[in-house]
Structure 1
């Protein structure tokens, strides 16, 4: 989707100013927000793709003014309501009115390290061979969906060269909206920076792109 999260190549948002010796959290509530999001993710209702899409779907005016972890919490509220673990009344009252639906999915403190270190691999096995070979010239399709998509907007319509084949992986666009994993081949594609940005001679850009995003040139 064309949302406020996809800022690459857009002007008017000011310079990037990294903070020297930046702390992990700027306030205690940020650490709590991260913990709550991780614990709720363990309930198993949604995938990382659905949670990412929930953040992207926040109204642009709010997304651009919210601090990072408020974006996370806002999306979490939407996900919990969507899956029946939180009601509008509970949100107003500030406490639960009924027990949670999946108490057996509770993520205890001692289990956090194991869960996070295990991760959630996205590589899959598919029967079809890669349609595109290393060195092939490809154009990024001009896709404008209303749902989740992992193509940076600034690469649409541009031509690049496939640098490597990365195997088959879960397709996030379908996985974000409960249409299944639908795995497909993933490629690393190299682009000329000057061609993409109109400046930057000698600069190259690399993006990992799923096969359905690409067409042979």
Structure 2
């Protein structure tokens, strides 16, 4: 079964409002702080990007549906801090002891932020094997869209694309597999492909039948069509 976050192609959620080019980046001051705290906490090295995505995905459905975007970020961060032992629930309530945190020396300093952003977190990795698929080859995504390593776990295959047939546009080399990385199962790198799907393959009545959708999908999500 899919989680509440997997909303792509779902009816009833209304139109997407992308906003105007001159709209502020953050609607409220605390939004910027929520982003900053999340990135700074990630620099402590206690979890990876895929773990943080999964933390947001596994918020309680009532919370996920009711929270704003940055409320989701903040709630997921609070869960990660407690689950990894960085803070306790009492610390988050302001009731913990005031001793110096064990990870204080890893704190991201303001003068190091630009360099940390410039470095980023590349996910490409060496790969000894040969990619199973080549550009132009027709492939089908697995059905259902699910993590095959952890029941109910994180995956980057959206539910709306499960069982769809498309064509490989490009192979990007090998990249860290989120399905493993989000659950402490190692990086498990495998080939990553851009796959092109006709809109009619994904939706029964596409607004423009000539539209196409491109998805970046890992090799274990695909099979020959």
User: How far apart are 1:103 and its partner, in Å?
Assistant: 1.6
User: How far apart are 1:141 and its partner, in Å?
Assistant: 0.3
Q: Which ranges in structure 1 are unaligned for 5 or more consecutive residues?
A: none
Superposition CA RMSD, Å: 1.4
Runs of 4 or more consecutive aligned structure 1 residues displaced over 6 Å after TM superposition: none
Deviations 1:51-92 (A, max 9, x none): 000000011221122111111110101110011111121222
Distance 2:36 2:129 in 1: 40
Aligned to 1:173: 179
Distance 1:130 1:8 in 2: 28
Aligned to 2:5: 5
- Counterpart secondary structure, 2:53: helix
Distance 1:208 1:14 in 2: 26
Distance 2:146 2:128 in 1: 29
Q: Answer yes or no: is 1:214 the counterpart of 2:222.
A: yes
Aligned to 1:114: 115
Q: Answer yes or no: is 1:196 the counterpart of 2:198.
A: no
Distance 1:25 1:161 in 2: 38
Q: Which ranges in structure 2 are unaligned for 5 or more consecutive residues?
A: none
Aligned to 1:149: 155
Distance 1:133 1:19 in 2: 38
Distance 2:96 2:136 in 1: 57
| TM-score for both structures, normalised by structure 2 | 0.92
| TM-score for both structures, normalised by structure 1 | 0.95
- Counterpart secondary structure, 2:65: helix
Number of aligned residue pairs: 217
